Chain A
Amino acid sequence: MKSLLSRGSPLDDSAAQLKAIGEFSELLRGLPRFREKLASHGMNPLHPARTEIFQVNAGKMCNQTCRHCHVDAGPDRREIMTRETFEACLKVIAATEIPTVDLTGGAPEMNPHFRWFVEEVTRLGRKTMVRCNLTIILANERFRDLPEFFARNRVHVVSSLPYFEKAHTDRQRGDQVFEKSIEALKLLNAQGYGREGSGLPLDLVYNPSGAFLPGAQASLETEFKKALQSRYGITFNALYTITNMPISRFLEYLQNSGNLDDYMERLVNAYNPAAAAGVMCRNTISVGWDGKLYDCDFNQMLDIPVASQGSKTVFDFDARALGSRSIAVDQHCYGCTAGAGSSCGGATV
């Protein structure tokens, strides 16, 4: 599988994606607009709370091409963050008290400045979270020491594993991803990750392998822990359940499989005002590979910039201006407010 970009798919265009989920059919046109839904619960416009997470997207380059990827990442993508932009990020981190730096991608480890940046963030005394796809550790000899590197810098590792069985995992993330993920998890466990008392957190991310919503986070975590421990001796700390966002390659899947209408209707019908109040965009600032600022990684992929005056990039970062902005929303936001809610940290309710 290749990215939407290299296949020349019309869905490579973010405006086409927004049009598809908002206007593609009579049913979709008839669904309430997300901002109206917020307004009906007195939450429009949505405003940020205190910024807890500075999320840096190191680029779209990845060793995997997952079918549900909201980034349209893959080995054929070349957009990655430059050293200059990382330096601007460090200046912002140093000038603010944002406690957590969340590094994502693509596979952020493929960026040549990745290790330097992690070390600098650690030096600033902030918690670093890396969204590691696991297979990158085995992708090339130069990545084999990532578990030691993570442990040395007390990195909080968050890794996707859609299921504790091969078929579900490989259908979503590619052939042999399951076996490689299990091997990588064992290497992380060997460094102390996910082991009680080690202080090295290893969290896993579950997202549904199809057009349905995630089940209860606590129940799935119990199932995952039982299965991974008994079958492979693997331990981890927490499981985050994340709803698949109806954008990019997952949107392509929904369209091609005839599930788009039903999925969007399901998200809208499962709207939960409590989840809306706890959406991650309220405590996160997302930085694109080119330094542009967004309310979240999903808005970043849809080219919906922050609506703040005079602070649009990491180079002109102004915490005060950003703090008084209204968060930009559209129909995809229903993905974060359905059921128990969904965020980069899992369920929100």
Chain B
Amino acid sequence: MDTYYNPADLKKFGGITEFQKELGDKFFEYYGEVFKEGALTAREKSLIALAVAHAVQCPYCIDAYTTDTLEKGATEAQMMEAVHVTAAIRGGSSLVHSVQMMNKAKKISM
């Protein structure tokens, strides 16, 4: 069945270099560097990636970073807390805009 998102396409991610090799190679080199142990551990970075995957609603990224966080020893509770951080920021970003709504409403109301 044709779908916009095919799980098998995740394995073809590396193939994006076919149409633009130089930029693709640079991206993957950068990507690899970003996820190395640094000031943050590889596990912390993986949990951030999992949270961001939910924010950008990328099914490929959710599959990839669910596996990756488990491999890096994260618990299901930690993974779900990461997604709650996404939800809190997404929800908060809507609600904080309500200040603008309130400002405007107060300005134009008697």
Contact = CB atoms under 8 A, between A and B. Distances in A.
A177 to B, nearest CB: 17
Interface stretch (B20-28, B70-78, B81-89): B70-78
Chain B contact residues: over half helix, strand or loop, or mixed?
Answer: helix
B42 A212 contact: no
Interface string A206-221: 1010101111100110
Contacts of B76: 167
B73 A220 contact: yes
A215 B43 contact: yes
B103 interface: no
Contact of A219 (B67, B70, B72, B75): B72
A238 to B, nearest CB: 16
A36 interface: no
Nearest to A224: B73
A168 interface: yes
A243 to B, nearest CB: 11
Interface string B57-81: 0000000000100111101100000
A163 B71 CA distance: 12
Interface residues of B, number: 11
B98 interface: no
A208 B42 contact: no
B17 interface: no
B71 A219 contact: no
A215 B75 contact: no
A165 interface: yes
A220 B67 CA distance: 16
Interface string A164-180: 01011000000000000
A223 interface: yes
Nearest to A168: B75
Contacts of A220: 72-73
B43 A212 contact: no
Nearest to A269: B11
A216 B37 CA distance: 11
A32 to B, nearest CB: 16
Interface string A132-171: 0000000000000000000000000000000101011000
A92 to B, nearest CB: 39
Contacts of B37: 219
Contacts of A213: 71
Contacts of A165: 75
Nearest to A211: B67
Contacts of A208: 70-71
Contacts of A210: 70
Contact of B42 (A167, A168, A206, A219): A219
B73 A212 contact: no
Nearest to B7: A262
A213 B42 CA distance: 15
Contacts of B43: 215, 219, 223
Given A219-B41, A219-B42, A212 B75 contact: no
B73 to A, nearest CB: 5
B41 A215 contact: no
Contact of A214 (B67, B71, B75): B71
Given A165-B75, A168-B75, A212 B70 contact: yes
Nearest to B67: A212
A212 B71 contact: yes
A208 B76 CA distance: 13
B44 to A, nearest CB: 10
B67 A223 contact: no
A29 B50 CA distance: 33
Contacts of A215: 42-43, 71-73
B73 A223 contact: yes
A207 B82 CA distance: 24
A220 B37 CA distance: 13
Given A212-B71, A223-B43, 7 more contacts: A165-B75, A167-B75, A208-B70, A210-B70, A219-B72, A219-B73, A220-B73
6 contacts: A208-B70, A212-B67, A215-B43, A219-B41, A219-B73, A223-B73
